[in-house]
Amino acid sequence: MKIVAAKKILKANDQLAEENRAKLDAGGVYGVNIVGSPGAGKTTLLEGLFRGLGDRRRPAVIEGDIAGSIDAERIEKLGVPVVQINTQGACHLDANMIAAAMADFDLGAIDMLFIENVGNLVCTAGFDLGERLRIVVLSVSEGDDKAAKYPSIFQGSHALFVTKTDLMPHTNFDLDRITADFKRLAPDAPIFPVAALAGDGIAEAADWLAKRSDKR
């Protein structure tokens, strides 16, 4: 019997993720995987964090989307190196896609690689991309019940960014409820409430990120 298996299958995701991590570490680049629902405000948060980090870091971005390059165009406007991955229907990025995209960066010229995953609170949970940090982004308009309803993605994340806090007065979002649910799933991970467009909370979050990425 002849067994044919694609390289992609042989090199299982976790193994590829370890290779990505080793390559980033060797280049002194800190990888951050950003996950959240469609419209949680991941790109706007990135834009805010770049302002907050200022010249403390030289960031680059991998954008994951089903189709198009809307987010990559936003990042490009900031002068930040960016690669767009179109997953052509796949509901999450995987380590193989990241390995391919990483080849397009000069790792010597950057020190943080932000990976904006496909908007999805489910599928993204199972795939290590080779990052050092996974951040979940949840907007207040999505509701405070999301950690209870989608536990996998919150569990094992290193921080929760609660975005669009300027909308809080117009919703019934309860920060105490999401905090309690999240702390059960990720007891040591901090929570940062932010309004990225107005800049509220961004300085604290950027400071934490700068400090955290020093620890590696």
Of 141 and 190, nearer to a second copy (C-beta) is 141
Least distance (Å) between residue 31 CB and a second copy: 23
Tokens at 46, concatenated: 């990135």
Q: Does 216 sit near a second copy (CB under 8 A)?
A: no
How many angstroms separate the CA atoms of 101 and 105, rounded?
Answer: 8
Binders of a second copy among 48-107, rule CB under 8 A?
65-68, 70-71, 89-91
Least distance (Å) between residue 22 CB and a second copy: 29
Site mask for a second copy (CB under 8 A), range 114-133, x = bound: ----xxxxxx----------
How many angstroms separate the CA atoms of 138 and 189, rounded?
Answer: 14
Query: Among residues 174, 178, 173, 202, which one has the least CA distance to residue 189?
Result: 178
How many angstroms separate the CA atoms of 20 and 41, rounded?
Answer: 26
Q: Does 14 sit near a second copy (CB under 8 A)?
A: no
Which region, judged by CB under 8 A, interacts with a second copy, from 3-11, 12-20, 101-109, 145-153?
Answer: 145-153
Q: Does 175 sit near a second copy (CB under 8 A)?
A: no
Least distance (Å) between residue 82 CB and a second copy: 16
Is residue 84 within 8 Å of residue 118, measured between CB atoms?
no
3-state secondary structure 124-192: HHHCCCCCCEEEEEEEHHHCCCHHHHCHHHHCCCCEEEEECHHHHHHCCCCHHHHHHHHHHHCCCCCEE
State the residues that interact with a second copy by CB under 8 A.
37-39, 65-68, 70-71, 89-91, 118-123, 139, 141-143, 145-146, 148-152, 164, 166-167, 170-171
